[in-house]
Amino acid sequence: MGNVDPTIHRAMADHAIPLSDDGRQQSREAGERIRQLLGSDASPKKVRLWNSPYRRTRQTARELAASAGDVILDQREHVLLCEQQFGLFDGIPEEELPGMFPMQWEQFDKHRRFEGKFWARMPAGESRFDVSVRVHQSFGTFQRDAADHGIEDIVVVCHGVTLRAFVMMWCHFSPEWFEREPNPQNCAIRVLQDGEDQGYFFEGFPPAH
């Protein structure tokens, strides 16, 4: 709904913003593509779905899992997969930030001017560096899935900054890679295999402004 009506961010906390009707349909189509990607072998795989606890990612995961069918073994939630915390800047258009938070904005913008948005921390929130550190802390869970429970593949439903942080940390890319890499489109599906980034299996849907 934040893509359909950006003003919703002024009235509703980011974690509570739901999917739009288009988002639900896109989630179902993503589930079909997951089925194509992971359900092509004759022998069934053990695929676990993990999602962020935000309302929209819970809804996305539910629609995706229903559409993917028996390709998905089960579904679990990990709080470390949530979106970047925007703190005092949450829901406020960028052009209004210098007037509302002049000192905080100057500190944030200083990093951006030196091509360092990765390091720029939102006041009372997170930097992209912070997101990368906490996403990395979730990897032990996924490795135990494979070692202790025989999980062969995982599907992670998360957010744009979180996905980029996941790819960067999993594949040992640099902060400069993160700066160059754009956010994915809605319901894009990115494939990581054997520690290597395979790019997008499905590019996704552009935001519906």
Same domain, 162 and 94: no
Residues 140 and 176 in one domain: yes
Mean pLDDT of 73-89: 96
pLDDT at 113: 87
* Residue 3 falls inside a structural domain: no
Give pLDDT tens digits for 119-151. 999 999 999 999 999 999 999 999 999 999 999
CATH number at residue 159: 3.40.50.1240
- Summary mean pLDDT of the chain: 94
Q: Are residues 131 and 188 in the same domain?
A: yes
| Nearest C-alpha neighbor of 153 from the set 186, 204, 187, 201 | 201
Same-domain pairing of 58 and 149? yes
Out of 125, 149, 177, a domain closes at 125
Q: How are strands ordered across the β-sheet holding 47-51?
A: 74-77, 47-51, 153-157
Q: Which of 74, 101, 125 is the last residue of a domain?
A: 125
| Average pLDDT score over residue span 38-48 | 78
What integer pLDDT is reported at residue 95 of this predicted model?
A: 95
Residue 77 CB coordination number (10 Å): 16
Is the alpha carbon torsion for 159, 39, 203, 24 positive or negative?
negative
Residues 76 and 164 in one domain: yes
Question: Could you tell me the pLDDT band of residue 51, with boundaries at 50, 70 and 90?
Answer: very high
- Tell me which residue range forms the domain holding 112: 87-125
pLDDT of residue 90: 94
pLDDT of amino acid 207 = 83
Please say if the pLDDT value at position 70 is more than 70: yes
Q: What is the pLDDT of residues 162-197, one digit of tens each?
A: 999 999 999 999 999 999 999 999 999 999 999 999
- 24 and 115, same domain (yes or no): no
User: According to the model, what pLDDT value does residue 116 have?
Assistant: 83
Alpha-carbon distance 120 to 115, whole Å? Answer: 10
Identify the band that residue 42 occupies on the pLDDT scale cut at 50, 70 and 90: low
Q: Total structural domains in the chain?
A: 2
Helical axes 160-171 vs 128-137, angle rounded to 10°: 60
Answer yes or no: do 74 and 143 share one domain: yes
Q: What is the pLDDT of residue 209?
A: 61
Pair 65, 144 in one domain: yes
The four Cα atoms 197, 199, 205, 209 give a dihedral, to 10 degrees, of 70
CA 156 – CA 48 distance, rounded (Å): 9
Two structure tokens written together for 121: 């921390």
**Could you tell me if 156 and 180 lie in one domain?**
yes
The residue among 77, 102, 125 that closes a domain is: 125
Does any domain span residue 2?
A: no
Sign, CA torsion 184/57/33/171: positive
